[in-house]
Chain A
Amino acid sequence: MRRIIFFLALIFFSGSLSGWTQLPQQTRTIRVGVYENAPKIYTAEDGTVSGFWPDLIRYIATEEGWEINWVHGTWEEGLERLETNEIDIMPDTGWTEERSQKFAFSNETILISWTRLYVPRDSDITSILDLEGKTIAGLTGSFNLNGPEGIKDLTAKFGIHSTFVEMTSYTQIFEALENNEVDAGITNKDFGNLNEGNYAVVRTPIIFQPARIQFAFTKDAPLTPYLLETIDAHMKTLKEDRGSVYYQALDEYLGEKASGAVVEVIPEWTKNLLMIGGGAIVFLLALAGTSRIQVRRSTKELRASLQKREELEFIVNRSQVIVFLWRVAEGWPVEYVSESVRQLGYEPEDFTEGRISYVGIIHPDDLPWVEREVAAYTARGENEFRQEYRILTKSGEIRWTDNATRIRRDKNRVITHYQGTVTDITVRKQAEDEIRRHSAALATLLQSSQALASTLDMGNVLQASVDSVVALTELKSAAVYLLNGEILHLWATTPPLSPQFPDEWRNAQLADHPHLRETIDTGLPVFLPDTATADLTPVERAVSDLYDLRSILYLPLLAGTEALGILIATSTGEPRALSETEIALCRTLANLSVLSIENVQLFEASQHHVVQLERSAEELAALNVLGQDVSATLSLDEVVSASMKGVLNASHPDLAYFFLRDGDRLIKKMIAPEEAVIRLGEFPEHRIGECLCGSAVTKKRALYSKDLYQDMRCTWNECKEAGAHSFAALPLLSDNEVIGVIGLASDEERDFETQAEFLETLTNTVSVSLRNALLYEEIRQYATDLEQRVAERTAELNERVAESETLTRAMIALTEDLQNAVKKAESADQLKSAFLAIMSHELRTPLNSIIGFTGILLQGLVGSLNAEQAKQLGMVQDSARHLLNLINDILDISKIEAGQVEVRFEPFDIRAAIHKTVERIKPLATKKELSLSIEIAPQVGEIISDQRRVEQIIINLLSNAVKFTDQGEVRIESFYEDKMLVIRVADTGIGIRSEDVEKLFEPFKQIDTGITREHDGTGLGLSICRHLLELLGGKIWVESEYQKGSVFSFSLPVERTPDDN
């Protein structure tokens, strides 16, 4: 047959050659390596390069406009050519690390493949270990032979020594196997799947080296990046489309359904059928080469089935899932079962050959309901159902399984088979049980801890602990003991004690019981698994027999490292080890018990503290009340009775005395409570140093006696006769002197000293008040004496008083006169102010008209004036202005004298103020043809003063200077001197005689009446300036030379100082 194929191939090949034409310029010719590896790539009978890869390559070539040049050769030749760039692409190349160094690979994986070991028929090789000393054939250059995880690598790893024969094609390998030339041979799965039926070869379960099969390219060839990118791009697109040429080729050549893995059980019985079918195809091919189409389709179907079956077996045999096919008959006879049934210890044949029935391995407890359910599902016409039940392994172990069953029916709905998977879920079941048990334990534990926390009674706590032990575990009884010295006392048991329970075991001596001793000493649990064999003390034995105990756990109750007691937990029946969970629970409960015990102990300790605190509070309250009572009074009797009340309230003695000291005697002041007075009868007076109370005086400290009968210090018998047993003698000390004693007696034996601190605080309080009361008594006595003397003196004084009254009346009259005078003076001053205000206002009103209309006329607003009219009107205006100045000056001076002038300090620029005033004076100076100059030092700027007043002063000085100067100049200067601002106005005027300088600043003191009249002065200006400067914190002075000129200067503080006002 192969000859025919070869012949046909030759014809086809030559035919194809004759069809070639000259390639167009833009057409690329891609050289692709071809080797014989049907169905992936091979040369068909007609010589066409066929298979999965050629289909893919042809598709891409058509898309890209390539011409393909198929270069035939062996696999090894192909790889060599690729390395030397004699070809561009080698398809069907498995990726390995080693090859990736030599070749470039497409990124897209095209196929997944693996290698299988085949053997000749009748070979006994079934596992890799059987290859020892055998000859194995492999493909030259293939990585399943030489590559990593290849057969050579694999056998070496198992320490197997085999001989390897290299062949140039997989067909040769199968031929060699058929002829028994080699013991084993390896091919890839695709070749094997297709060809195994055509040769006398048998597949083994040995498969290895799963690999990604890709396109390979010459490394570093100029065309490679283009090819790689183009092919990858196409492959990516092809793989996304289920209907693409890629999936078609997979389906056609490799029997791989495009829809992916459809898991379907291929039962064993079909195997024989397939084998027969395979044989039939060989026969048909040999006979009828003509019906190729039909053969090809059948081949494809068979290939697909084989592929599926193999893959499924591969999966099933390695999983925990066991596949069963049951016939519908009594006992569910098994027709097929997967190899994985071995995990249960059975051979598949055990079932298929009827040695074991399936129902026989179902747990007898589960079988009835399993059968019931199957019957029910079947009757209901269900197609599928699931059950979880137990089955028995060959060794008798119980396994939980999950059984998913499909009911197979024929087209008449008649059931033919049950088909199903059985999965071992024992581990899951165990985990579920574990979780359920833990959850239950946790819930109970929570309840227990709440129960333990909710009680503060030791007995309840411990009862709760032992109850919990029994509730939480499968243990039957529990007991808890607390250690007291060397004895363990039984506190709680569950169930309740039997009347026969030995007393010796209620209070167990550590010394007598080694197990108890060991538990306490080591702080570790002691476990006796079986009482029958354990070394028990007679008492332990008695208890064990009484309750039929089998295992005993002694668990220490540990607080830190200290053992507080022991928890005993026991079980009955079969001897057994305690589970870790049980021990852990017992430990937790032991810990909880310890916590609770500690809580109870803490609670009891805190209760004790509360009692003490309550007592302290009572004492403090008594002290407080006492302190208030005794401080509130200076009466001796009240101090004494308050003290006694305080003592009775806080210390509750049966009898209390209060003595006052009087020299060397103790005077009884009070006995309390009242009934005690009767009881005590006559009570003699003490002397200091006698008995306890007297001794307390000499020793200056409190004396306590618990038992008066035994106390040598108690020399008087009165107290004892009154029933006293214990006594406290508390001295009342003031300035280190005892001023009294409080005695307390108790009929019962009592230690007053435990209250010492309180009692001494109390006596200190009492002492202070007692001292005060005694002093008050003294003072009162003294006061009484004084009263007498005061009365005598009063009469004497009364006479004197009469005299002084007369005198006082005279004084009052005089004062009234003075006050009237002051009032008159004040109203005169007010009158003056009012007069001035009115005068000022009333004079101004007419002046407003005079000055206003004169001004209008002189301005020419009404019409032009002739020279004489203007001159006369000017005179009116001057006079009016003079009058106004006079009014203003008088007003100013009177305000100053009345102290009504207020100055307001604000920062302002003195430089600007000087310029402003000069501008106002300029017209006057210009009129007199005087030069007016300013010189201000550069640093002069802002000062803090009263701008209006300062300007008033400058104008005053400037107008004076202009007024009294007929020729020459007026000059104003300003500079700083001694931190003061100085403003100086100098003129070249008439000057002042030195004898007149002093009078200059007096009001209305005219220097020369003639001059004054001539110069229109009011004579008030300089006086006003001086007063204003006093208010502003400055001063004014003058330097002058008669007939030469004057210099008026004034100084101002630059900043306001605190005493400026």
Chain B
Amino acid sequence: MTTKILVIEDNEKNIYLLTFILEKHGYLVLQARDGERGITLAYEHKPDLILLDIQLPGMDGYAIARKLRENGDLGQIPIVAVTSYAMTGDRERILNAGCSGYIEKPIDPETFIAEIETYLPLSQRRT
């Protein structure tokens, strides 16, 4: 079965980069460029993992994570924040909003897949 990963990211280059890496490693990528679209896709497709940027137009990443966690069906999906916020307290805010983990930008393509796969059950990993 295909492992679906939803990427919520507004920066075109970043979404291209993440999609490229993930697809190269055999994952099916769903793209959302804002929170509303992201939540809709999450409801429709029940992805296996959500990669979430924090600084987004409209609804920010914290609000998206909280919204997703309110839904019982989506409550169990791991959400990993991929963000350039690196100031004191950012990490705590992200985890408090309901994210399962946190990867600081810039990402390292050499280790990125290994890092996100720690949030997936063995059966759904592609490497």
Contact = CB atoms under 8 A, between A and B. Distances in A.
B107 interface: yes
Contact of B84 (A836, A844, A902): A844
A856 B17 contact: yes
B88 A851 contact: no
A178 B47 CA distance: 132
Contact of A851 (B24, B85, B86, B107): B107
B1 interface: no
Contact of B106 (A836, A850, A891, A901): A850
Those 9 A-B pairs whose CB atoms lie nearest each other, nearest first: A855-B109, A844-B84, A848-B106, A852-B17, A900-B88, A851-B106, A849-B13, A847-B106, A848-B105
Contacts of A859: 109-110
Given A836-B87, A848-B106, A855-B109, 15 more contacts: A840-B84, A841-B84, A844-B105, A845-B11, A849-B106, A851-B108, A852-B14, A852-B17, A852-B109, A856-B24, A859-B110, A888-B86, A895-B87, A900-B87, A902-B89
Nearest to B85: A841
Contacts of B89: 902
B21 interface: yes
Interface string B87-104: 111000000000000001
Interface in B2-44: 11, 13-14, 17, 20-21, 24
Contact of B21 (A850, A856, A891): A856
Interface string A872-903: 00000000100010001001000100001110
B24 A841 contact: no
A902 B21 CA distance: 34
A775 B41 CA distance: 89
A69 to B, nearest CB: 102
Given A853-B17, A856-B21, A902 B88 contact: yes
A844 B84 CA distance: 6
B86 A856 contact: no
A850 to B, nearest CB: 7
Contact of B87 (A840, A847, A884): A840
Nearest to A900: B88
B124 interface: no
Query: In terms of DSSP, what is the predominant structure of the interface of chain A?
Result: helix
Contacts of A901: 88
Contacts of A851: 106-109
A274 to B, nearest CB: 110
Contacts of A895: 87-88
A836 B107 CA distance: 20
Interface string A840-874: 11001101111111011001010000000000000
Given A891-B86, A901-B88, A902-B88, A848 B21 contact: no
A844 B86 contact: yes
Nearest to B82: A848
Interface string B68-94: 000000000000000011111100000
A849 B17 contact: yes
18 contacts: A840-B87, A841-B55, A841-B84, A844-B86, A844-B104, A845-B11, A847-B106, A848-B107, A851-B108, A852-B21, A852-B106, A859-B110, A861-B109, A891-B87, A900-B87, A900-B88, A901-B88, A902-B89
> Which residue among A836, A848, A891, A900 has the maximum number of chain B CB atoms within 10 Å of its CB?
A848
B22 to A, nearest CB: 11
B84 A861 contact: no
A888 B105 CA distance: 11
Contacts of B108: 851, 855
A852 B88 contact: no
Interface string B29-68: 0000000000000000000000000010000000000000
> Which residue among B11, B85, B110 has the maximum number of chain A CB atoms within 10 Å of its CB?
B110
Interface of A: 833, 836-837, 840-841, 844-845, 847-853, 855-856, 859, 861, 880, 884, 888, 891, 895, 900-902
A849 B14 contact: yes
Interface residues of B, number: 21
A837 B21 contact: no
Contacts of B21: 852, 856, 861
Contacts, number: 71
Given A856-B21, A861-B21, A845 B107 contact: no
A837 B90 CA distance: 11
B17 A848 contact: yes
Interface of B: 11, 13-14, 17, 20-21, 24, 55, 84-89, 104-110
> Which residue among A847, A856, A901 has the maximum number of chain B CB atoms within 10 Å of its CB?
A856
Given A856-B20, A861-B24, A884-B106, A848 B14 contact: yes
Contacts of B84: 840-841, 844-845, 848
A371 B84 CA distance: 131
Given A840-B84, A841-B84, A844-B84, A855 B14 contact: no
A987 B67 CA distance: 52
Nearest to B84: A844
Contacts of A844: 84, 86, 104-106
A859 B89 CA distance: 34
A840 B105 CA distance: 10
A52 B40 CA distance: 113
A849 B84 CA distance: 12
Contacts of A845: 11, 14, 84, 105
A691 to B, nearest CB: 92
Nearest to A850: B106
A849 B20 CA distance: 12
> Which residue among A841, A853, A895 has the maximum number of chain B CB atoms within 10 Å of its CB?
A841
A630 B49 CA distance: 84
B54 to A, nearest CB: 10
Contacts of A902: 88-89
A841 B61 CA distance: 15
A832 to B, nearest CB: 12
Nearest to A855: B109
A467 B55 CA distance: 109
A134 to B, nearest CB: 119
B115 to A, nearest CB: 13
A403 B30 CA distance: 117
A802 to B, nearest CB: 53
A861 B113 CA distance: 13
A85 B106 CA distance: 124
A840 B106 CA distance: 11
A902 B107 CA distance: 24
Contacts of B85: 837, 841
Contacts of A833: 87
Nearest to B11: A845
A888 B84 CA distance: 11
Nearest to A861: B24
A727 B109 CA distance: 114
> Which residue among B20, B55, B88, B106 has the maximum number of chain A CB atoms within 10 Å of its CB?
B106
A825 to B, nearest CB: 20
A844 B14 CA distance: 11
A848 B13 CA distance: 9
Contacts of A891: 86-87
A1029 B11 CA distance: 38
Contacts of A861: 20-21, 24, 109
Contacts of A837: 85, 87
Contacts of B14: 845, 848-849, 852
B71 to A, nearest CB: 29
A249 B41 CA distance: 110
A895 B87 CA distance: 8
A907 to B, nearest CB: 19
Nearest to A883: B106
Nearest to B14: A848
Nearest to B17: A852
Contacts of B86: 840-841, 844, 888, 891
A851 B84 CA distance: 13
A900 B87 CA distance: 9
A845 B15 CA distance: 12
Contacts of B107: 848, 851-852
